[in-house]
Amino acid sequence: MSDILLLLSIISIWLAVFEAILIMAGATRFIYKERRRPWSITGDTSAYPTVTVLVPAHNEELVIAATAENVLKLNYPAEKVQFIVIADNCSDATAEKLCELKSRPDYAQRDFTVLERTGTGGKSGALNDAFELARGEWVCIYDADAAPEKNALLFLVQTALENPQRYGAVFGRNKARNRGQNFLSRCVNLELVTAQRIYHAGLWQLFKVGTIPGTNFMIKAELLREIGGWDTDAITEDTAISFEILRRGQLIALASRAEAYQQEPESLDVYAKQRRRWAKGNFDVVLGNLHHLFDRTNWRVKIQVIYYAASYFWFMAAILISDFIFIVNLVYRVIHWFRPEVYSPFQFSGDVYVYLVVAWGLMYYLYVLQINLALATDIGQSNTRNFILSCISYFTYAQLFILISIRALGEMIVDRVTGRKAKWYKTQRFG
């Protein structure tokens, strides 16, 4: 039985290795093409669409004024931008700071609305209420802590216009602006850069599959109305709406030059709560879409379901099993030196265990390679400190993520069995 369990883990790890190599190859091709592709921030903007920018804000007095100013200063025709900030159930000075900003002479002529809301539904409910006021052909979303680069919206629109019939949504890159704060924020930065430059780029290049990241993206207003807005029951509303877009045969395009900076957790408690919510939401969305593997839904939805299911269930289980066996055998080997009569409960025939060690070693090598390939494509990120951090993060940060995901899975199961409604957690900000 132990041989079979180990063999299944080894096969699963090799499949994960193959997936990583395939996606890295796609990402490398994407980055090569991107660097050879001409781009411009000047030219005729008369044909550009109107855009409604929405920023949901719940008790965001520390960051909201700076975010609103960044949006108002975007390099996009001002007459084509409708800007709505939702002060959602705020008990602080979020609305006051926004009204003070709106009253400045510089913004007197801007289409700028502060929507004070007391409804339910969290972020999704806030976005739905604001969407009722939207007049733009496209709807762009930034989180309350976002600092979009000046040309971010311009690059999103330019990508959308490349194939306006097929592109139902467009998303850019998000970067950690507090990445150098401490060990945790540096590890989060490695994760973010790798996700953006390897997984997002690779999946888009190979399959034209994209996923809305929750901020720094835009979606066709007409498509959003067809979908019915954001799902107020979804913990990760971005993943849920991504599946809805793909189901309708529309693509979610990657605009990698559209960059926005965001705050990342700096304390373990804040990080754990944020990632547990993300994991629970993604578990729930994946389970809700598993049936699409067996119906006539288009193949990109199936690719997305397989990718999420493999990442959050199958490969994670294989890593847990293999890590457990590896650690137990290591501990028992040390004990065996002092007490020769003690043997590990996991005894394997032939060279099966050797195959596990080889597979584990290759997986670790690819983990480090992915991170450093991603860092090499981001200005200022490829350095000795980040290389060392990438080598040790597997044994620290990556294992922490696995533990958080396990807890999230347990909480999701309890929620489903008991009918308990999951709570939306707002990430804590700093000044």
Adjacent-strand bridge partners of 169: 219, 252
In angstroms, the CA 203 to CA 24 distance is: 9
pLDDT exceeds 80 at position 113: yes
The pair of three-digit structure tokens given for residue 212, joined into one six-digit string: 């809305």
Phi, psi for residue 63 in degrees, rounded to 5 = -125, -15
pLDDT exceeds 80 at position 192: yes
272-301 per-residue burial string, b: 16 or more CB within 10 A, e: under 16: bbbbbbbbbbbbbbbbebeebeeeebeebb
Query: What CATH topology corresponds to 1-33+52-431?
Result: Spore Coat Polysaccharide Biosynthesis Protein SpsA; Chain A (3.90.550)
* DSSP letters for 200-262: IHHHHHHH------SSSEEEEHHHHHHHTS--TT-SSHHHHHHHHHHHTT-EEEEEEEEEEEE
Task: For residue 78, give the 3-state DSSP assignment.
Answer: helix
The pair of three-digit structure tokens given for residue 342, joined into one six-digit string: 């003690």
Adjacent-strand bridge partners of 138: 51, 220
Top pLDDT among 2 and 427 is at 427
Top pLDDT among 115 and 346 is at 115
Sign (positive or negative) of CA dihedral 132, 133, 134, 135: positive
Q: In Å, how far are 41, 59, 377 from 162, measured between CA atoms?
A: 15, 38, 24
Top pLDDT among 289 and 3 is at 289
Q: What is the pLDDT of residues 230-250, one digit of tens each?
A: 998 888 899 999 999 999 999
- How many beta carbons lie within 10 A of that of residue 222, not counting itself? 11
Look-up of token digits 């193959």: 18
Q: What is the pLDDT of residue 201?
A: 97
Q: What is the pLDDT of residues 309-355, one digit of tens each?
A: 888 888 777 777 777 777 887 788 788 888 887 777 766 665 666 77
| Sequence ranges of the domains in the chain | 1-33+52-431
Q: What is the pLDDT of residue 416?
A: 83
> How much of the chain exceeds pLDDT 90, in percent?
65
Q: What is the pLDDT of residues 287-305, one digit of tens each?
A: 899 999 999 999 999 999 9
Q: What is the pLDDT of residue 423?
A: 65
Q: What is the pLDDT of residue 228?
A: 96
The pTM of the full predicted model, rounded to 2 decimals, is 0.90
Helices 397-418 and 315-338: crossing angle in degrees, nearest 10, is: 120
Top pLDDT among 116 and 428 is at 116
Q: Give the strand pairing for 111-117 and 81-88.
A: parallel
Q: What is the pLDDT of residue 348?
A: 63
Q: What is the pLDDT of residues 161-182, one digit of tens each?
A: 999 999 999 999 999 999 999 9
